[in-house]
């Protein structure tokens, strides 16, 4: 029997670092004109929402309300960032129009008046086409006149009965970044089981651009990473083992 569940993950230090995509600006600050609300409640900037189905041929359709909390009208554009997706799956979105899976940035914008909420324009879709595994897709809503004025959420799609018992996941022991929030530098503290190869740490800004990428060659250790040149805002760090994402956490830079 097919089952569908979705769970909102909040107030965690999440991480998302993956393969590079389109770049639309530098980094967002903490000031923003937009606010997101899912059917389950308010979504903070950078939150991850998990969607799960045991059906290998599932087609997810997700919704999100976008509110303009500023005193001015805002023309909002949408960007899709495929952080990490299972081969053969497809991610789509509707905003000013509906687009196929090859489109990553909307052609047009949707005007949201000051204090108003747009409840109907956004739809995110994900088709697994029989491919089992975990996929991460980030949706970024941003002010077309000021791309740094943006807000985003990550949709994590778990597909198939084996999504929770990945062999790659079992190899990871610990991976934490501190301090969080951070200012001039961060320290990565990690430990992996034996015979783990091809491990990378990646740091991305909220628009999906990779700002740091480091290969980890030891089984365990600490690594200090300079972030003094990064602007204040929300970033995501990811640990990838054998080309699979095993951790995603949020990092705040002050």
**Is the bond into 179 cis (omega within 30 degrees of 0)?**
yes
Average pLDDT, the chain: 82
What is residue 250's predicted lDDT score, i.e. its pLDDT? 83
Residues 233 and 29 sit within 8 Å (Cβ to Cβ): yes
Minimum mean pLDDT range among 5-19, 23-37, 79-93, 128-142: 5-19
Domains of the chain: 4-159 (2.60.40.10), 167-253 (2.60.40.1930)
What is the tens place of the pLDDT at every residue in 162-197? 544 344 454 555 778 999 999 999 999 888 876 777
pTM: 0.70
CA distance 80 to 177: 26
- Cα distances (Å, whole numbers) of residue 199 to 22, 193, 195, 225: 24, 12, 11, 16
Residues 153 and 138 sit within 8 Å (Cβ to Cβ): yes
What is residue 14's predicted lDDT score, i.e. its pLDDT? 37
């Amino acid at each position: 029997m097919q089952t569908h569940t979705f769970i909102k993950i909040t107030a965690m230090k999440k991480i998302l670092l993956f393969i590079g995509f389109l770049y639309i600006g530098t980094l967002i600050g903490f000031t923003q004109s937009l606010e997101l609300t899912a059917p389950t409640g308010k979504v903070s900037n950078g939150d991850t929402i998990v969607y799960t189905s045991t059906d290998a041929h599932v087609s997810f359709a997700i919704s999100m309300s976008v509110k303009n909390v500023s005193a001015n009208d805002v023309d909002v554009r949408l960007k899709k960032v495929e952080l990490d997706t299972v081969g053969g799956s497809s991610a789509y979105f509707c905003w000013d129009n509906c687009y196929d899976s090859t489109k990553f940035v909307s052609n047009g914008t949707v005007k949201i008046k000051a204090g108003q909420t747009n409840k109907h324009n956004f739809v995110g879709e994900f088709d697994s086409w029989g491919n089992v595994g975990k996929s991460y897709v980030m949706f970024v809503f941003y002010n077309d006149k000021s791309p740094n004025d943006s807000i985003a959420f990550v949709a994590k799609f778990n597909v198939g009965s084996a999504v929770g018992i990945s062999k790659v996941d079992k190899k990871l022991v610990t991976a934490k970044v501190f301090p969080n929030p951070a200012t001039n530098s961060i320290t990565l503290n990690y430990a992996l089981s034996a015979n783990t190869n091809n491990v990378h740490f990646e740091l991305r800004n909220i628009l999906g651009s990779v700002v740091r990428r480091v290969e980890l060659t030891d089984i365990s250790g600490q690594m200090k990473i300079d972030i003094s040149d990064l602007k204040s805002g929300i970033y995501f760090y990811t640990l990838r083992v054998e080309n699979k994402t095993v951790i995603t956490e949020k990092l705040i830079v002050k």
